[in-house]
Amino acid sequence: MVPGRAGVGHAKFGALIDRFGQTRENIKKMSTRPVLGLIYMLQALKQLGEDPTPVLRRHGLVLEQLDPSTTIERGRELRIYADLAQNLRDPAIGLQMGQAYNLAGYGPLVMLLLTCANGYEAFQMGMRYQRLTYVYATLRFEPGEHYSALVLEPLLLAPKVFRFRVDGEVSGTYKMLRDLQTSLGLSLQAERIDMPYPRPPEAASYEAFFGCPVRFGEAVARLWLRNDYLHVRFPSADPVAHSLYRSMCDQQLRAQEVSLATLSEQVQSHLAMFTRSYPSVAEVARSFDLSERSLRRQLSEQGASFRDLLGRARYDKAQHLLCSTNQSVEAIAQELGYAESAAFIHAFQRWSGQTPAAFRGRA
């Protein structure tokens, strides 16, 4: 028998959600995360017949212009999810959304997990580097005598976005586990899944989707697994490679810990998400709920200007593309929104004092 937990009644569930205001304030203190997770979700919504364009427009974003190699401030991403959740036609669409996460999109974290000795070590690494995943929930591991649980303690949000995010994160986490075991040639199946909200009318479809019993009304989400899975040695176990990928994951964590404290930092981070075409100062101001005049004034008070921030965003992206890709100068100019490569070369010389070709040669 799979271990159980006492269910959470509607009153207690409502009390948890009432803390949304406090949680929202805490989100503002969070750092950045890869924008690739948001891109996966938006693409999945379109494939499922939903149109995220109006919501993105309110946030000053265009799906086709998002650069998957950049990051997004965590609070901004979550506000986008909250807005998207308000008009979804299928209340259980989050299950399908979780399937949009591509295993390759986890980067070095996937290789770190694959080079672990066994499932137990992989779970420990997953807990340590959970901020490199796409979940907002807090992950932890609960060991048991015969069954153990991967626990997702969800972020407290308003009801619609709460269920949308929980469904997507549980579905996406389970997909990651299944994809990893397929890569290892193993077979893994959850014994039961617990969900942290009252039983919905669509409850039967959840058991069909996961292929196992699903219990609702729990305090947290849990994926119950047999302990046998945790001790099977991974055929790809490699201590030397594991150490390398762990160093890479540590670097990614440090990069995410950059705090966007000032408006100028947030604006530059916002501009960095774009490729090929950049928003105007008026469009950026609207995405921050400011008038253009107020945005310019606040940036000026911080010793910055919109033009300088746009130039910095382009310069940072240009350096990255010149150093890490084989794209031609002409192609990079297009990525940065220049109609002609000559304009890009002139701008790059102004920024760095050298041509893009010379910079690439020295790099």
Using only C-alpha atoms, what is the Rg of the chain? Answer: 22
Query: Is residue 133 domain-shared with residue 248, that is, in the same domain?
Result: yes
Domain-located, residue 5: no
Query: Is residue 31 domain-shared with residue 103, that is, in the same domain?
Result: yes
Query: Is residue 102 domain-shared with residue 142, that is, in the same domain?
Result: yes
**Number of structural domains found in the chain:** 2
Domain-located, residue 303: yes
**How far apart are alpha carbons 18 and 12 in whole angstroms?**
10
**How far apart are alpha carbons 290 and 63 in whole angstroms?**
22
Q: What pLDDT, on a 0 to 100 scale, did the predictor assign at position 76?
A: 84
Domain-located, residue 167: yes
Sheet containing strand 214-215, strands side by side: 138-142, 147-153, 221-226, 192-194, 214-215
Query: Is residue 248 domain-shared with residue 275, that is, in the same domain?
Result: no
Q: What pLDDT, on a 0 to 100 scale, did the predictor assign at position 259?
A: 60
Q: Give the range of the structural domain holding residue 230, as residue numbers without chain letter.
A: 10-254
- Which one of 228, 254, 280 terminates a domain? 254
Domain-located, residue 209: yes
Model confidence pLDDT, tens digit, residues 276-333: 788 889 888 887 878 999 999 999 999 999 999 999 989 988 998 898 888 899 999 9
Could you give the C-alpha distances from 150 to 17, 212, 222, 273, 274, in angstroms and in order?
Answer: 23, 15, 6, 33, 36
Size of the chain, expressed as the number of residues it contains? 363
Query: pTM of the prediction?
Result: 0.72
Q: What pLDDT, on a 0 to 100 scale, did the predictor assign at position 74?
A: 81
Query: Is residue 250 domain-shared with residue 287, that is, in the same domain?
Result: no
Query: Is residue 243 domain-shared with residue 275, that is, in the same domain?
Result: no
**How far apart are alpha carbons 56 and 208 in whole angstroms?**
32
Sequence-ordered alpha helix ranges (H) in the chain: 10-17, 20-27, 36-47, 53-58, 74-85, 93-98, 108-114, 119-128, 159-184, 203-210, 239-256, 263-272, 281-287, 292-301, 306-324, 329-335, 341-352, 356-362
- Which one of 194, 224, 254 terminates a domain? 254
Domain-located, residue 3: no
Please count the other Cβ atoms lying within 10 Å of the Cβ belonging to residue 266. 18
For residue 42, what are its two tokens?
A: 């938006």
**How far apart are alpha carbons 175 and 171 in whole angstroms?**
6
Domain-located, residue 2: no
Say if CB 213 and CB 195 are below 8 A apart.
no
List, for the chain, all residue ranges whose pLDDT scores fall below the cut of 50. Answer: 4-30
Calculate the CA 334 to chain-centre distance.
Answer: 27
Please count the other Cβ atoms lying within 10 Å of the Cβ belonging to residue 328. 11
Query: Is residue 26 domain-shared with residue 104, that is, in the same domain?
Result: yes
Query: Is residue 243 domain-shared with residue 272, that is, in the same domain?
Result: no
| Of 118, 128, 130, residue with least CA distance to 225 | 118
Q: What is the dihedral of CA 195, 196, 202, 203, to 10 degrees?
A: 40
- Which one of 254, 271, 294 terminates a domain? 254
Q: What pLDDT, on a 0 to 100 scale, did the predictor assign at position 306?
A: 94
Please count the other Cβ atoms lying within 10 Å of the Cβ belonging to residue 208. 8
Query: Is residue 219 domain-shared with residue 267, that is, in the same domain?
Result: no
Domain-located, residue 23: yes
Looking at residue 48, the DSSP 8-state letter turns out to be T
Q: What is the CATH number of the domain that holds 333?
A: 1.10.10.60
Query: Is residue 231 domain-shared with residue 164, that is, in the same domain?
Result: yes
Q: What pLDDT, on a 0 to 100 scale, did the predictor assign at position 220?
A: 95
Q: What pLDDT, on a 0 to 100 scale, did the predictor assign at position 2?
A: 59
Domain-located, residue 1: no
Query: Is residue 343 domain-shared with residue 322, that is, in the same domain?
Result: yes
| Of 111, 105, 101, residue with least CA distance to 243 | 111
Burial (CB count <10 Å: 0-12, 13-18, 19+), residue 355: middle
Q: What pLDDT, on a 0 to 100 scale, did the predictor assign at position 9?
A: 40
Query: Is residue 246 domain-shared with residue 282, that is, in the same domain?
Result: no
